[in-house]
Structure 1
């Protein structure tokens, strides 16, 4: 195991064991290095790596702290990594969304507030029937974020938010070249909202599945991979 990897594992063990808790300040660098049997350089590299994935928060002039370890914070790094996907894997990201998003939408049926539903409806009304692609994509992203967050499961909505990188591109392609993609997207959003207003979890799940399936069906021929499952 590389020295830096060993240092990362030792700090991770302290956090997992509860020796360091969310919000705790790490001991001074010299003290921690001695306690863990590490060089100060390897400890520094480990802290830098853990700060990049939001496990640690380095505050200049103050010290290094364990972050809140909130799922939204930790999984936020996922979206950065996902942006490096190859175009030929976009289908696979959509397949993951097809598994997760209908479940989140069904869960939201019991939790989403009337104010949130009204705000989403107002945003749809403001778009009109033929919005510019940029506005449609922004509204689509916000729609799915609000619904997923309303599931009440921070891990689930953080995962879905992290997958929005390739989903964003697929939406743009679909809006630009898919037959009546704009009209279908707006119709499906209204159908999902209707199910959520009725507090009908199964209808919400079904419409969310239809929505993701539509994107997948468009993407297969667009990528030249009709054989993909």
Structure 2
């Protein structure tokens, strides 16, 4: 099992339009773009499972590919924008999500090809050879990360997140986790209460103690702060 990313940035992506910070200028110079955090897994039979769908043209990216299911962490636009087009698919697609009465835009009103299924905390969802267990996270919208398991590997996907409850942490500590990806979108001087800063995220990664740990959901502000202050972190920011 391999977790691939279409993007690992915050909702603004990198570079930000007309921003002249160190990171945005560096990305332009190197012709790099990092889009909002979205991930996917290619199953053994070639089918695709999306974990979030924040990339606007995600339907084009996976055209001629069978999308078996979507696992949404929450309904903020940078995690659901791609559904506005993907719902016109010729295929029916199951989309698992945490409880949210409003969702995003008119996705619930005009479901079209998407079959929305409310997940339940810590209740496993079996899709092909994989098991996805929703893990409640603290965020400004009702949010669940996912523990992703197959016979060979266990991955914890924990975005967006401002904290982890004792119950969710106890669940994570009960597992032998191979890879952990966690929201660390903010620098310590930019904490807004909806996301972890990298210092907070590092403490959580130390506690979870996965074999491999990565920070995700970085903003250009955070990466510029690290670069300008020559700060080296214990865990790397996973950037695509």
- With normalisation by structure 1, the TM-score equals 0.21
Higher CA-based Rg: 1
Higher relative CO (Cα under 8 Å, sequence separation at least 6) belongs to 1
The structure richer in strand per residue is: 2
